[in-house]
Structure 1
Amino acid sequence: MPSAAPELPRYALYAIRYATREARRSDHFIGGDPHDGPMPMDYFAWVAVGPERVFMIDTGFTRAVGERRGRTYLRCPVESLSELSLTPEEVEDVIVTHLHYDHAGNFDCFPTARFHLQETELHYAVGRYMQYPRLAHSFEVDDVCRMVRLNYDRRVVFHHGDAELAPGIRVHRAGGHSAGLQFVSVHTARGWVVLASDVTHFYENMETGRPFTTAFHIGEMLEGFDRLRAVAGSDDRIIPGHDPKVMERYSPVRNDLAGIIVRLDEPPGS
């Protein structure tokens, strides 16, 4: 008889809230919103800790970048690893969902890690579309140049569509918001959990079928909502990229970390 497939490892999965900004509903939906009002935006990095490997998913921006862009910087996401008894040196792999400024800073904090990126994203970030301020505004040139340097140092693993990085860790290309945007699925104690990143900024973008205002290809943004659901199998396993409700729905690692680091490998409300 054929041997049974090995059981997938279960990762502990965390969201780190590192910055925030005041905003309005009309900022977050293409075409605005007929019931405009306050709708703050949070900024996150994520960490998946397995029995043998640690993955960081996105690396946030620096304090200097946040101040220049008018964001409220709360903490360094990389330094926050210490709250999970981790160091940057223990992070073997960094998954960069895309190269927008709020997902792709602090690369130099990881001295040995491999960086996983869709090749389409780097081509986009250095290509002809960056002559248009409406698209280039979302990138920090220094971050893009650091990724180029990491590639010359043979530390970038390029992906072309969906890929399994390790048992229990997968990336899925979505595009739309940025040309090479990818999201991540992680196997946990509650099954597969999908880190949407900016495939859906807020729960409401996906739930109402109204994409976020920063767009490269609106059709791919709408298809991205379908892809999230197909991979996750259930909406309560989808974690949006910027929604403050994540801090409300999931339990903190410790009471003193409420609003700072929550566990995503446990069901919401547990």
Structure 2
Amino acid sequence: MSDWEVHAVKYADRNARTRADSFMFDDNHDAPHPMDYFMWVLKRGAEVILVDTGYDDAEAAERGRPIRMNPVASLLPFGIAPEDITQIIVTHLHYDHAGGLHLFPNAKLHMQAAEMAYATGPCMCHDTLRMPFSAGHICEALRRLYSGQVIFHDGDAQVADGVTVHRIGGHSRGLQAVRVRTMSGWMVLASDAAHFYENLTDRKPFPIVVDLEDMLNGFDTLARLASRHELIVPGHDPLVTQFFAQGIADHIWRLDTGPITECLS
């Protein structure tokens, strides 16, 4: 079968952040450290798989974290209407990755069984662990489950020819990365298994974590899954917009053609 196109779709950013928000064990906690927010589109001919959904204006207002573009609007350059999406890989159920599930009513959701158990289990009694989740998003995932629109995976699994998912954990119990066969080789969408390139290169954990050992081991898993290091795409790093070519719109970058400049080593 042919290779997949991979597109990073930026829908939000938060620039009033510091390195303390991004890294544990960092010596320069007060320095600025912005964050970008992405969804990803996989295309192969008429086939489309959406990876994560971003979050909508209501969630943005609730959290005081504005978005630049509604998730549905962000997909318009592809000619994709929300009802056209039939498959969504949910890397995890945090608000910024699953906050738009309700916008795509016809989609089946691919997620790790461990993530649903985590988001609906006793760990959510802890305010710190519950903070990145929103109850409405979890209820939407449960509605999909009861309407037969959830496909659960337990570890490594194939979603389509050339598209596999791999449970990483760490940041969230059932966090999964996505491995995609592209013209450049096997590309890995790390999602929040590596928010930034620096998580990988310096092995600095992200502060929101349920299992630190899983997070650290996950850095090695990402490296094994990718054909080469520069084909690991972090989930929130603004450097992605520098390392890869501009796509079909100002908020979209083409990933499958490979980086246009040298990534961090």
Q: Distance in 2 between matches of 1:242 and 1:50?
A: 24
> Residues 19-45 of structure 1, C-alpha deviation per residue, up to 9 Å, x if partnerless?
111210111111343363111011100
Q: Is 1:233 aligned to 2:223, yes or no?
A: no
Residue of structure 2 aligned with 1:12, choices 5, 10, 24: 5
Residue of structure 2 aligned with 1:34, choices 28, 32, 45: 28
Matched with 1:43 is 37
- Greater CA drift, 193-202 or 245-254: 245-254
Q: Is 1:213 aligned to 2:207, yes or no?
A: yes
Q: CA deviation at 1:77?
A: 2.0
Q: Distance in 1 between matches of 2:257 and 2:47?
A: 20
- In structure 2, what residue type is equivalent to 1:18? Y
Q: Distance in 2 between matches of 1:145 and 1:39?
A: 33
SS of the equivalent of 2:195 reads coil
Residue of structure 2 aligned with 1:145, choices 139, 142, 155: 139
Residue of structure 2 aligned with 1:262, choices 231, 253, 256: 253
SS of the equivalent of 1:31 reads coil
**Structure 1 unpaired stretches of 5+:** 1-7
Q: CA deviation at 1:164?
A: 0.7
Checking the alignment, whether the CA contact within 8 Å between 2:187 and 2:227 is kept in structure 1 is no
- Greater CA drift, 186-195 or 223-232: 186-195
Matched with 2:161 is 167
- In structure 2, what residue type is equivalent to 1:186? V
> Pairwise mapping of residues 90-105 of structure 1 onto structure 2 (< 5 A)?
90-105=84-99
Matched with 2:53 is 59
- In structure 2, what residue type is equivalent to 1:211? P
Q: CA deviation at 1:70?
A: 2.6
Checking the alignment, whether the CA contact within 8 Å between 2:20 and 2:26 is kept in structure 1 is yes
SS of the equivalent of 1:72 reads coil
Q: Distance in 1 between matches of 2:61 and 2:18?
A: 19
Checking the alignment, whether the CA contact within 8 Å between 1:53 and 1:92 is kept in structure 2 is no
Matched with 2:184 is 190
Q: CA deviation at 1:115?
A: 0.5
Q: CA deviation at 1:267?
A: 1.5
What do you get for the CA RMSD once the two structures are aligned? 1.3
Q: CA deviation at 1:111?
A: 2.3
Matched with 2:244 is 250
Checking the alignment, whether the CA contact within 8 Å between 1:29 and 1:212 is kept in structure 2 is yes
- In structure 1, what residue type is equivalent to 2:257? E
Count, aligned residues = 260
Checking the alignment, whether the CA contact within 8 Å between 2:88 and 2:108 is kept in structure 1 is yes
- Greater CA drift, 65-74 or 96-105: 65-74
Checking the alignment, whether the CA contact within 8 Å between 1:25 and 1:33 is kept in structure 2 is no
Checking the alignment, whether the CA contact within 8 Å between 2:170 and 2:218 is kept in structure 1 is yes
> Residues 78-100 of structure 1, C-alpha deviation per residue, up to 9 Å, x if partnerless?
22111112222322210000000
